[in-house]
């Protein structure tokens, strides 16, 4: 196949898992990352798992000239743009930082693609673009409601910029709207490694189970859901990585008449916070110390996907269960705390 892909944010959680699937399927991958939320060990792990040496560029994407100089002599067929800051709470405290980094990086990537005549883009969007949906499950046609955080707003703006850019330059772009990625690679060599205190549920559960955190706070039990705790559509990271592979294959082989396409990437099933905690306890035979506290700002009660379009059009389907998700998360946590 030998298509060349530039992966921004490729040392992060989703990027690293995706690079493995791409390399294992014959794609040639180069990574740009500034390590603001990842570690260089992630590069070594990808190389170890795949047995392939990767071109790595340590560049901040908000610095256009540096990026251009570093990549001047490279040619790429596709860009996958993962790089972004992703903490919802940090974005509420520092909205400008999120606009500057997430929108600034995307604009530079689009400028670079125009300069290098790269015609295919795959972008990391999020179900957060739907806000608090009017009806469930959400389809790709569901409208964007008010963003619940500046982070969510950066994803709405990004999608709009990519839509306009793709139509203007008649290039094919795809945004994948991820639901809640969890779990780790089967090798146990890569997974999610939050810097500092985890913000997301499953990493917090894992760190509580291993003893790094005293107790998990469950944010609210008075939502209108099956047990009062919020419901999300958790998706295994390897299924999510394979959705990128499917989207890259679509961009490579098929010229869609629609220049900009979007796909929901979720399992279509919703689990409550308590259901996730209980699955983790049961599968891994560990205890989780938790207490119910007040609601967290910016949380919605329930969201899960309709993934019909991605199943049909991308020829992709999620294969892993909630049990696989919590089992691989725990295996990864034990590996990094050995
Ligand atoms: P991550 O933080 O693990 O990975 C992002 C990577 O981008 C990191 O390695 C970071 O160092 C890099 N980066 C950030 N800003 C950069 C910049 N200016 N220049 C160069 N590198 C930069 O996050 P992730 O979970 O892998 O998320 C990847 C993408 O998916 C992000 O766009 C995120 O918003 C989106 N997303 C994530 C989730 C989730 O729950 N993890 C859900 C929906 C969407
Ligand atoms: N939760 C707790 N305690 C915690 C952490 C989370 O009870 O310590 C609860 C939250 O209140 C929420 C659920 O667990 O109800 C899931 O929370 P996460 O933080 O794991 O995930 P979110 O649904 O809030 O958001 C995630 C990503 C966002 C992304 C969004 C949609 O963090 O970046 O999914 O893709 F935008």
pLDDT tens profile 178-218:
999 999 999 999 999 888 999 999 999 999 999 999 999 99
Q: Reduce the DSSP state of residue 181 to 3 states and report it.
A: strand
What is the pTM assigned to this prediction? 0.98
pLDDT for 37-94, tens place per residue?
A: 999 999 999 999 999 999 999 999 999 999 999 999 999 999 999 999 999 999 999 9
- Residue 238 · residue 320 · CB < 8 Å: yes
Is 151 marked active-site? Answer: yes
Question: What is the mean predicted confidence (pLDDT) over 323-329?
Answer: 98
Average pLDDT of the chain is: 97
Q: Please name every residue paired with 7 in a beta bridge, in sequence order, or none if there are none.
A: 31, 80
Answer whether 38 contacts ligand 2 (Cβ < 6 A): no
Q: Which of 98, 130, 151, 178 is catalytic?
A: 151
* The domain defined by 4-182+235-265 carries CATH number 3.40.50.720: yes
Answer whether 40 contacts ligand 1 (Cβ < 6 A): no
Answer whether 181 contacts ligand 1 (Cβ < 6 A): yes
Ligand 2 atom having least distance to the Cα of 152: 36
Residue 63: enclosing H or E segment and its boundaries? none
Domain boundaries, the chain: 4-182+235-265
Would you state the pLDDT for residue 290?
98
Ligand closest to CA 223: 2
Give the chain's end-to-end CA distance (angstroms, integer): 39
The number of helix segments (H) and strand segments (E) in the chain equals 12, 13
Ligand 2 atom having least distance to the Cα of 205: 8
pLDDT range class, residue 292, cuts 50, 70, 90:
very high
Would you state the pLDDT for residue 1?
59
Q: Ligand 2 centroid to 300 CA: how many Å?
A: 9
Distances (CA, A) of 113 to 6, 170, 271: 11, 13, 39
- Residue 57 · residue 32 · CB < 8 Å: yes
Answer whether 91 contacts ligand 2 (Cβ < 6 A): no
- Residue 91 · residue 157 · CB < 8 Å: no
Answer whether 140 contacts ligand 1 (Cβ < 6 A): no
């Amino acid at each position: 196949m030998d298509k060349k892909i530039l992966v921004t944010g490729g040392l992060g959680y989703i990027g690293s898992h995706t690079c493995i699937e791409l390399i294992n399927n014959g794609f040639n991958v180069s990574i740009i990352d500034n390590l603001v939320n990842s570690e260089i060990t992630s590069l070594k792990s990808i190389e170890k798992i795949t047995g392939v040496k990767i071109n790595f560029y340590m560049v901040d994407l908000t610095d256009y000239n540096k990026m251009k100089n570093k990549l001047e002599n490279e040619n790429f067929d596709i860009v996958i743009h993962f790089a972004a800051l992703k903490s919802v709470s940090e974005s509420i405290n520092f909205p400008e930082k999120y606009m500057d980094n997430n929108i600034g990086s995307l604009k530079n990537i689009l400028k670079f693609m125009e300069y290098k005549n790269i015609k295919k883009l795959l972008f990391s969007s999020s179900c957060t673009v739907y806000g608090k949906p009017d009806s469930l499950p959400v389809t790709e046609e569901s409208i964007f409601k008010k963003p619940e955080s500046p982070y969510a707003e950066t994803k709405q703006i990004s999608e709009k910029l990519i839509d306009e850019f793709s139509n203007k330059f008649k290039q094919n772009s795809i945004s994948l709207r991820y639901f809640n990625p969890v779990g780790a690679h089967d090798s146990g060599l890569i997974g999610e490694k939050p810097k500092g205190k985890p913000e997301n549920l499953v990493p917090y559960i894992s760190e509580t189970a291993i003893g790094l955190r005293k107790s998990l706070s469950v944010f609210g039990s008075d939502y209108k859901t099956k047990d009062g705790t919020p419901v999300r559509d958790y998706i295994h990271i390897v299924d999510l990585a394979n959705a990128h592979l499917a989207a890259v294959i679509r961009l490579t082989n098929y010229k869609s008449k629609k220049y900009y396409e979007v796909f929901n990437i979720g399992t279509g099933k919703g689990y409550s916070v308590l259901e996730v905690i209980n699955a983790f306890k049961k599968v891994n035979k560990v205890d989780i110390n938790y207490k119910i506290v007040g609601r967290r700002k910016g949380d919605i009660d329930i969201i899960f996907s309709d993934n019909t379009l991605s199943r049909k059009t991308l020829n992709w389907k999620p294969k892993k269960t909630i049990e696989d998700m919590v089992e691989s998360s725990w295996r990864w946590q034990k590996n990094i705390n050995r």
